[in-house]
């Protein structure tokens, strides 16, 4: 399974070079794909609130998969894909327009197995997006994995994690005798005991006592 991660994202708009013609082709591919959506679960990371994971495979007749995912403005998302060969990932909106694309070789560092690619993305509108997963070379086939982290507020912290503070309260008991003979027994807490006059027996019990 892909390790969890986090990366700062900036708001992204549609790729200005992606025409309506290409958008139409993309929507046709998306409509005929049928890959299941990726959902989110609460994260235990200190950097982001939610995490999602899915996987699939590519064949000679299915060279691209489009994974539906619901994204919200005000949150930063980091996607990472990995596979048997160098994967590429692209983010499309529901109208087929391309927002981001990356394959791992774009950063100039040769990948070793499991050959991953990463995209940090902050949508400029909420809705359903499609993460396209493919191989750098369309003739390659094999399995792939896709993981996503959602950082609400793009602040690099997990607001769902809570800190529990335990406060211990110590009760002090005052136990007073009389001028005659007394037997005074303290409690398990802190006690202040005074027998006054007379032949007294005092036992403070547990705790920090003043007798």
Q: What is the pLDDT along the chain (211 residues), one digit of tens a residue?
A: 444 454 555 555 788 889 999 999 999 999 999 999 999 999 999 999 999 999 999 998 999 999 999 999 999 999 999 888 888 899 999 999 999 988 765 544 555 555 678 889 999 999 999 999 998 777 889 999 999 999 999 999 999 987 555 555 555 565 555 655 555 555 666 656 565 566 655 555 565 655 6
Supply the pLDDT for residue 1: 42
Q: Are 101 and 120 in contact, with CB atoms under 8 Å apart?
A: no
CATH 2.60.120.380, the chain: domain bounds: 20-161
DSSP, residue by residue, 105-144: GGGS-PPPTT-EEEEEEEESS-EEEEEEEEESSTT--EEE
Supply the pLDDT for residue 125: 93
CA distance 12 to 56: 27
Kindly report the CATH number that applies to the domain delimited by 20-161: 2.60.120.380
Vertex 134 angle, CA 130 and 139, to 5°: 150
3-class secondary structure, 53: strand
CA distance 186 to 159: 46
Supply the pLDDT for residue 45: 92
Q: How many helices (H) and strands (E) does the chain have?
A: 1, 14
pTM as predicted: 0.69
Distance of CA 11 to the CA centre of its chain: 19
Supply the pLDDT for residue 94: 94
3-class secondary structure, 29: helix
Q: What are phi and psi of 105, to 5 degrees?
A: -75, -10
Quick one: which of 91, 141, 144 has its CA closest to 114? 144
């Amino acid at each position: 399974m892909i390790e969890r991660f986090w990366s700062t994202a900036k708001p992204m708009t549609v790729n200005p070079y992606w025409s309506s013609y290409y958008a139409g082709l993309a929507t046709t591919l998306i409509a005929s794909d049928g890959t299941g959506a990726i959902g989110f679960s609460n994260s235990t990371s200190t950097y982001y609130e939610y995490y999602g994971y899915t996987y699939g495979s590519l064949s000679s007749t299915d060279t691209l998969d489009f994974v539906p995912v619901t994204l919200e403005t005000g949150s930063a998302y980091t996607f990472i894909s990995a596979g048997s060969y160098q994967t590429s990932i692209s983010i499309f909106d529901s109208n087929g327009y391309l927002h981001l694309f990356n394959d791992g070789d774009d950063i100039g560092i040769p990948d070793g197995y499991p050959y991953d690619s990463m995209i940090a993305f902050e949508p400029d509108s909420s809705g359903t997006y499609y993460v396209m997963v493919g191989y750098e070379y369309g003739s390659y086939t094999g399995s792939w994995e896709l993981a996503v982290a959602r950082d609400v507020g793009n602040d690099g912290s997990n607001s769902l994690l809570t800190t529990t503070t335990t406060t211990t309260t110590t009760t002090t008991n005052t136990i007073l005798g009389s001028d005659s003979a007394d037997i005074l027994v303290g409690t398990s807490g802190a006690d202040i005991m005074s027998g006054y006059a007379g032949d007294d027996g005092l036992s403070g019990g547990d705790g920090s006592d003043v007798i």
